């Protein structure tokens, strides 16, 4: 997923006017499946082409479930990752408002994990075009998962993992244009912030990311799979301000203003080539977009789990094991495994500028939050010289927008226009 040194000439796989190909629906699994009281774990798969205009042909299948039990499918517009029942193993992968199908029989052999459920999602939409509000159109995202009856489980049921997918044109054709080096991020909802205590190992008392509150990102967007590299920055801006030289290392020593200038230059260049969707721009992520993408459907303090250790990221000290990672500089981007959505180095390497000004969190649920007009700008993710407490998915920090140092860099999004 790393951007190449040829980024500026090959950010799109092919010109929109030249390449036509079948839409593939961008079907992807996310969230975590539960385990039934009998030890069964449902696998959710899909075949065919998701479309709001085709009368049939996109089939969701839940297999490996408890035989002889009833079940159904949940579906909606946005993704989520919330615990389903106290003490259970399932996660609710579809955010409210959601809908449910009529119940189905899993079949199978008594006492076995060979039951299954199937649903033609296209046929469901064709029969219920306004089930999710206004009729859905090509390019919009949907999410689905299976609910399976389990009388011994919390809430008397368990859930499969989720599938998210993008609805295609009815004729299944159109420009097959993918921004190289960017990862598609679906619309969805999550809990922003952390309820961890102020002591070890999370030290949640510094700029506490509280109160924890529900956030919905109502639009899909793309985010850089890696931080912007020195090679990419120098190719566009004509200079490399970094302290730790390496074309495949993240650019650092860039101010918030420098980062915005890079995004503006990239937008102008790509828009001139017809490669920026209407209403979108290359920019810094909002703080909510950043945390949503960093979590990638997880609810733990880090996308890798409750602890961050030296093999997980480029940072200096694990507050969990007390281990020093002997890190004295940045690492080449994508040196560590990506998070569940394919994003590298969301923890550590360099702090990443966000578009927002720093402000206290609201207590109530919000949609597409964005703070402008303040003195300080938010930075997220920790850096190569930080302890793990600063690298958490929810950890907040802020900086004067004109200052630079070797721990500050940037990651771009291609997302709806926002004016700071």
- The answer on 196 and 136 residing in a single domain is no
- The pLDDT value recorded for residue 282 is 96
- The answer on 373 and 268 residing in a single domain is yes
- The answer on 344 and 316 residing in a single domain is yes
- The answer on 240 and 103 residing in a single domain is no
Give how far the C-alpha of residue 20 lies from the chain's centroid of Cα atoms, to the nearest Å: 27
- Closest C-alpha among 222, 208, 341, 216 to residue 277: 222
Q: Which range among 48-57, 172-181, 328-337, 369-378 shows the weakest confidence by mean pLDDT?
A: 172-181
DSSP conformation letters of 179-232: BTTEEEE--EEEEES----SSTTT-TTSS---S-EEEEE-S-EEEESSPPBHHH
Q: How far apart are CA 57 and CA 78, in angstroms?
A: 22
Identify whether 378 is part of a domain.
yes
Identify whether 330 is part of a domain.
yes
Residues 6+ apart with CB under 8 A from 316: 324, 325, 327, 384, 385, 386, 387
- The answer on 147 and 192 residing in a single domain is no
Q: How far apart are CA 295 and CA 394, in angstroms?
A: 9
Identify whether 293 is part of a domain.
yes
- The answer on 340 and 276 residing in a single domain is yes
Q: Between the ranges 19-23, 47-51, 123-127, where is the mean pLDDT highest?
A: 123-127
122 within 8 A of 57, measured Cβ to Cβ: yes
Q: Is 373 left (phi over 0), alpha (psi -120 to 50) or beta?
A: left
Q: What angle do CA 398, 351, 239 make, to 5 degrees?
A: 110
**Residues 239-266, mean pLDDT to the nearest whole number:** 98
Q: What are the backbone dihedrals phi and psi of residue 86, each rounded to the nearest 5 degrees, phi first? A: -65, 125
Identify whether 2 is part of a domain.
no
Identify whether 13 is part of a domain.
no
Burial of 241 (0-12, 13-18, 19+ CB in 10 A): middle
- The answer on 233 and 376 residing in a single domain is yes
Identify whether 227 is part of a domain.
yes
Listed residues 138, 166, 194: the one ending a domain? 166
Tokens of 277: 């969707």
- The answer on 103 and 73 residing in a single domain is yes
- The pLDDT value recorded for residue 305 is 95
**Residues 77-105, mean pLDDT to the nearest whole number:** 88
Domain that holds residue 187: 182-416
**Ordered strands of the 397-399 beta sheet:** 397-399, 377-380, 351-357, 408-409
pLDDT of 306 strictly over 50: yes
**Residues 3-16, mean pLDDT to the nearest whole number:** 31
Listed residues 166, 197, 221: the one ending a domain? 166
Identify whether 141 is part of a domain.
yes
Listed residues 111, 133, 166: the one ending a domain? 166
**Residues 127-147, mean pLDDT to the nearest whole number:** 84
How far CA 396 is from CA of 44, 55, 326, 353, in Å, comes to: 35, 47, 24, 11
- The answer on 204 and 122 residing in a single domain is no
Tokens of 230: 């020195």
Number of domains in the chain: 2
- The answer on 286 and 351 residing in a single domain is yes
End-to-end Cα distance, the chain: 29
Identify whether 329 is part of a domain.
yes
Higher per-residue pLDDT: 9 or 208? 208
**Residues 125-147, mean pLDDT to the nearest whole number:** 85
- The answer on 221 and 146 residing in a single domain is no
Mean per-residue pLDDT of the chain: 88
- The answer on 128 and 33 residing in a single domain is yes
Rg (CA), the chain: 22
> CATH no. for residue 138?
2.60.40
**Ordered strands of the 213-217 beta sheet:** 91-94, 79-83, 188-192, 213-217, 366-367
- The pLDDT value recorded for residue 1 is 31
């Amino acid at each position: 997923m790393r951007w190449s040194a040829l980024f500026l000439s090959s950010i799109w796989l092919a010109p929109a006017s030249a390449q036509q190909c079948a839409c593939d629906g961008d079907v992807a699994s996310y969230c975590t499946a539960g385990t039934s009281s009998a030890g069964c774990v449902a696998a959710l798969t899909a075949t065919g082409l998701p479309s709001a205009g085709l009368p049939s042909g996109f089939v969701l299948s839940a297999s490996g479930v408890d035989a002889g039990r009833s079940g159904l499918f949940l579906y909606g517009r946005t993704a989520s990752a919330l615990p389903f029942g106290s003490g259970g193993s399932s996660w609710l992968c579809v955010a409210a408002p959601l809908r449910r199908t009529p119940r189905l029989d899993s079949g199978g052999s008594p006492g076995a994990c060979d039951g299954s459920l199937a649903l033609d999602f296209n046929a469901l939409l064709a029969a219920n075009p306004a089930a999710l509000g206004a009729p859905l159109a090509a390019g919009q995202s949907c999410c689905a998962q299976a609910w399976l009856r389990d009388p011994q489980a919390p809430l008397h049921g368990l859930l499969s993992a989720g599938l998210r997918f993008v609805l295609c044109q009815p004729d299944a054709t159109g420009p097959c244009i993918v921004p190289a080096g960017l990862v598609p991020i679906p619309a969805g909802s999550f809990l922003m912030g952390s309820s961890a205590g102020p002591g070890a190992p999370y030290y949640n008392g510094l700029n506490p990311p509280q109160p924890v509150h529900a956030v919905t990102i109502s639009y899909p967007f793309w985010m850089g799979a890696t931080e912007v590299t020195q090679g990419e920055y120098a190719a566009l801006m004509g200079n490399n301000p970094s302290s730790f030289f390496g074309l495949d290392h993240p650019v650092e020593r860039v101010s918030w203003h420098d980062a915005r200038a890079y995004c503006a230059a990239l937008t102008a260049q790509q828009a001139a080539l017809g490669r920026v969707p209407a209403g979108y721009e290359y920019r810094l992520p909002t703080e909510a977009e950043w945390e949503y993408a960093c979590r990638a459907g997880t609810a733990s303090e880090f996308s890798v789990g409750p602890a961050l250790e030296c093999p997980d990221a480029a940072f200096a000290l694990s507050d969990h094991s007390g281990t020093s990672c002997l890190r004295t500089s940045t690492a080449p981007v994508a040196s560590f495994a990506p998070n569940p959505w394919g994003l590298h180095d969301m923890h550590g390497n360099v702090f990443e500028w966000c578009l927002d000004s720093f402000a206290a969190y609201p207590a109530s649920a919000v949609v597409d939050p964005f703070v402008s007009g303040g003195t300080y700008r938010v930075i997220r993710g920790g850096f190569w010289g930080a302890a793990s407490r600063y690298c958490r998915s929810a950890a907040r920090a802020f900086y004067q927008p004109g200052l630079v140092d070797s721990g500050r860099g940037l990651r771009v999004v291609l997302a709806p226009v926002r004016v700071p």
